Amino acid sequence: MSRGAPLPERRDRGRTFEQFAVGQRFDHHWGRTLTEAESIAFATTTMNASPLYFNAQFAAAHGHDRIPVDPLLAWNIVFGMTVEDLSFQLAGAGNLGYPVIRFLRAVYPGDTLYAESEVLAIGPWKGADDGGLVHVRTLGRNQRGQLVLEYERKILVRKGRR
Protein backbone atom coordinates (compact mmCIF):
# COMPACT_ATOMS: atom_id res chain seq x y z
CA MET A 1 0.00 0.00 0.00
CA SER A 2 1.44 3.37 -1.05
CA ARG A 3 1.60 6.16 1.50
CA GLY A 4 2.09 8.89 -1.09
CA ALA A 5 5.21 10.52 -2.42
CA PRO A 6 8.45 9.94 -0.51
CA LEU A 7 9.58 12.71 1.79
CA PRO A 8 12.10 15.07 0.19
CA GLU A 9 15.70 14.76 1.26
CA ARG A 10 16.60 16.91 4.25
CA ARG A 11 18.44 20.04 3.21
CA ASP A 12 20.47 22.05 5.64
CA ARG A 13 18.82 25.42 5.94
CA GLY A 14 19.73 28.48 7.87
CA ARG A 15 23.16 29.49 9.06
CA THR A 16 25.57 28.01 11.53
CA PHE A 17 27.34 30.16 14.12
CA GLU A 18 30.45 30.59 11.98
CA GLN A 19 28.40 32.11 9.16
CA PHE A 20 27.43 35.19 11.22
CA ALA A 21 29.44 38.42 11.50
CA VAL A 22 28.87 41.62 13.46
CA GLY A 23 27.23 44.19 11.19
CA GLN A 24 25.80 41.55 8.84
CA ARG A 25 22.34 42.52 7.55
CA PHE A 26 19.41 40.45 6.35
CA ASP A 27 16.35 41.48 4.37
CA HIS A 28 14.03 38.62 5.23
CA HIS A 29 11.71 36.99 2.73
CA TRP A 30 8.82 38.48 0.81
CA GLY A 31 6.64 39.84 3.64
CA ARG A 32 3.22 38.90 4.96
CA THR A 33 -0.19 40.57 4.74
CA LEU A 34 -2.37 40.27 7.84
CA THR A 35 -6.11 39.67 7.59
CA GLU A 36 -8.94 40.79 9.86
CA ALA A 37 -9.98 37.18 10.46
CA GLU A 38 -6.57 36.11 11.76
CA SER A 39 -6.31 39.29 13.85
CA ILE A 40 -9.62 38.61 15.63
CA ALA A 41 -8.80 34.90 15.94
CA PHE A 42 -5.42 35.70 17.54
CA ALA A 43 -6.96 38.10 20.06
CA THR A 44 -9.66 35.56 20.91
CA THR A 45 -7.52 32.42 21.12
CA THR A 46 -4.87 34.15 23.24
CA MET A 47 -7.64 35.43 25.53
CA ASN A 48 -6.63 39.05 25.09
CA ALA A 49 -9.08 40.90 27.31
CA SER A 50 -8.54 44.32 25.70
CA PRO A 51 -11.56 45.26 23.58
CA LEU A 52 -9.24 47.39 21.43
CA TYR A 53 -8.46 44.26 19.38
CA PHE A 54 -12.02 42.96 18.83
CA ASN A 55 -14.50 45.82 19.34
CA ALA A 56 -14.84 48.43 16.57
CA GLN A 57 -16.66 51.01 18.74
CA PHE A 58 -14.04 50.76 21.48
CA ALA A 59 -11.24 51.09 18.92
CA ALA A 60 -12.93 54.17 17.40
CA ALA A 61 -13.36 55.74 20.85
CA HIS A 62 -9.60 55.36 21.30
CA GLY A 63 -8.60 57.06 18.04
CA HIS A 64 -8.52 54.16 15.56
CA ASP A 65 -10.39 54.14 12.24
CA ARG A 66 -10.75 50.38 12.61
CA ILE A 67 -9.71 47.54 14.86
CA PRO A 68 -5.91 47.34 15.09
CA VAL A 69 -3.96 44.08 15.08
CA ASP A 70 -2.78 42.83 18.47
CA PRO A 71 0.90 43.90 18.63
CA LEU A 72 1.91 40.40 19.72
CA LEU A 73 0.50 38.99 16.47
CA ALA A 74 2.46 41.57 14.47
CA TRP A 75 5.59 40.64 16.45
CA ASN A 76 5.05 36.91 15.84
CA ILE A 77 4.62 37.48 12.11
CA VAL A 78 7.84 39.54 11.90
CA PHE A 79 9.67 37.03 14.11
CA GLY A 80 8.54 34.14 11.90
CA MET A 81 10.00 35.80 8.83
CA THR A 82 13.44 35.81 10.46
CA VAL A 83 13.68 32.14 11.44
CA GLU A 84 15.15 30.68 8.26
CA ASP A 85 17.91 33.31 8.11
CA LEU A 86 18.72 33.57 11.81
CA SER A 87 17.65 30.66 13.96
CA PHE A 88 16.92 27.60 11.84
CA GLN A 89 20.11 26.05 13.26
CA LEU A 90 19.32 26.39 16.98
CA ALA A 91 21.53 24.69 19.54
CA GLY A 92 20.54 23.70 23.07
CA ALA A 93 17.99 26.07 24.57
CA GLY A 94 17.91 28.11 21.35
CA ASN A 95 16.14 31.33 22.24
CA LEU A 96 18.06 32.97 25.08
CA GLY A 97 16.09 36.17 25.50
CA TYR A 98 14.50 39.29 24.09
CA PRO A 99 16.12 42.22 25.92
CA VAL A 100 14.23 44.84 23.87
CA ILE A 101 10.76 44.77 22.31
CA ARG A 102 9.18 48.05 21.17
CA PHE A 103 5.83 48.48 19.46
CA LEU A 104 6.07 51.79 17.62
CA ARG A 105 3.04 52.10 15.36
CA ALA A 106 -0.35 50.43 15.09
CA VAL A 107 -0.74 47.65 12.53
CA TYR A 108 -4.11 47.09 10.83
CA PRO A 109 -5.66 44.25 8.88
CA GLY A 110 -4.54 44.61 5.27
CA ASP A 111 -1.07 45.85 6.25
CA THR A 112 1.85 43.89 4.85
CA LEU A 113 4.79 43.46 7.19
CA TYR A 114 8.44 43.10 6.22
CA ALA A 115 11.45 42.27 8.38
CA GLU A 116 15.13 43.17 8.36
CA SER A 117 17.80 42.24 10.89
CA GLU A 118 21.33 43.21 11.82
CA VAL A 119 23.82 41.15 13.82
CA LEU A 120 24.89 43.22 16.85
CA ALA A 121 27.26 40.77 18.55
CA ILE A 122 28.51 37.19 18.39
CA GLY A 123 30.43 35.15 20.91
CA PRO A 124 30.62 32.09 23.12
CA TRP A 125 27.78 31.10 25.41
CA LYS A 126 28.42 29.68 28.88
CA GLY A 127 30.51 26.71 27.84
CA ALA A 128 28.14 25.59 25.08
CA ASP A 129 30.50 23.59 22.88
CA ASP A 130 27.87 22.98 20.20
CA GLY A 131 26.77 26.59 19.71
CA GLY A 132 27.52 30.27 20.07
CA LEU A 133 25.57 33.43 20.92
CA VAL A 134 24.21 35.58 18.09
CA HIS A 135 22.60 38.86 19.19
CA VAL A 136 20.42 40.54 16.55
CA ARG A 137 18.15 43.56 16.19
CA THR A 138 15.11 43.11 13.98
CA LEU A 139 12.95 45.86 12.52
CA GLY A 140 9.40 45.30 11.30
CA ARG A 141 8.04 47.70 8.70
CA ASN A 142 4.68 48.06 6.98
CA GLN A 143 4.08 48.38 3.24
CA ARG A 144 4.75 52.13 3.46
CA GLY A 145 8.20 51.51 4.98
CA GLN A 146 7.08 52.82 8.38
CA LEU A 147 8.73 51.22 11.37
CA VAL A 148 6.03 49.39 13.37
CA LEU A 149 8.16 47.38 15.80
CA GLU A 150 11.71 46.60 16.76
CA TYR A 151 13.21 43.97 18.99
CA GLU A 152 16.50 42.42 19.97
CA ARG A 153 16.97 38.70 20.27
CA LYS A 154 19.76 36.54 21.67
CA ILE A 155 20.02 33.15 19.97
CA LEU A 156 22.15 30.11 20.65
CA VAL A 157 23.09 28.98 17.12
CA ARG A 158 24.57 25.59 16.30
CA LYS A 159 28.22 25.50 15.29
CA GLY A 160 29.11 23.89 11.97
CA ARG A 161 30.26 20.28 11.78
CA ARG A 162 33.96 19.78 12.22
Distance CA 129, CA 91 (A): 10
What percent of the chain is predicted at pLDDT more than 70? 91
Query: For residue 99, what are the contacts with CB-CB under 8 A and spacing of at least 6?
Result: 152, 154
Q: Are strands 90-103 and 131-141 parallel, antiparallel or unpaired?
A: unpaired
pLDDT band at 102 (very low <50, low <70, confident <90, very high): very high
Instruction: Answer yes or no: is 100 within a domain.
Output: yes
Q: What residue numbers bound the domain in which 129 lies?
A: 17-34+69-158
Instruction: Answer yes or no: is 104 within a domain.
Output: yes
- The domain that holds 131 is classified in CATH as 3.10.129.10
Residue 26 Cα distances to 84, 99, 117, angstroms: 11, 20, 5
Distance CA 148, CA 101 (A): 11
**Number of structural domains found in the chain:** 1
pLDDT digits (tens, 9 = 90+) for 49-79: 899 999 999 999 999 999 999 999 999 999 9
Instruction: Answer yes or no: is 139 within a domain.
Output: yes
What is the model's pLDDT at position 2? 46
What is the model's pLDDT at position 5? 59
8-15's contacts with Cβ under 8 Å and 24+ in sequence apart are 12/89, 13/84, 13/88, 13/89, 14/83, 14/84, 14/85, 14/86, 14/87, 14/88, 14/89, 15/85, 15/86, 15/88, 15/89, 15/157
* Residue type, position 1, single letter: M
User: What's the whole-number mean pLDDT along residues 116-121?
Assistant: 98
pLDDT digits (tens, 9 = 90+) for 1-49: 445 656 554 455 789 999 999 999 999 988 999 999 999 999 999 998 8
Instruction: Answer yes or no: is 78 within a domain.
Output: yes
Distance CA 13, CA 87 (A): 10
In this prediction the pTM is 0.88
Instruction: Answer yes or no: is 47 within a domain.
Output: no
Instruction: Answer yes or no: is 10 within a domain.
Output: no
- 150 has pLDDT over 70: yes
Instruction: Answer yes or no: is 62 within a domain.
Output: no
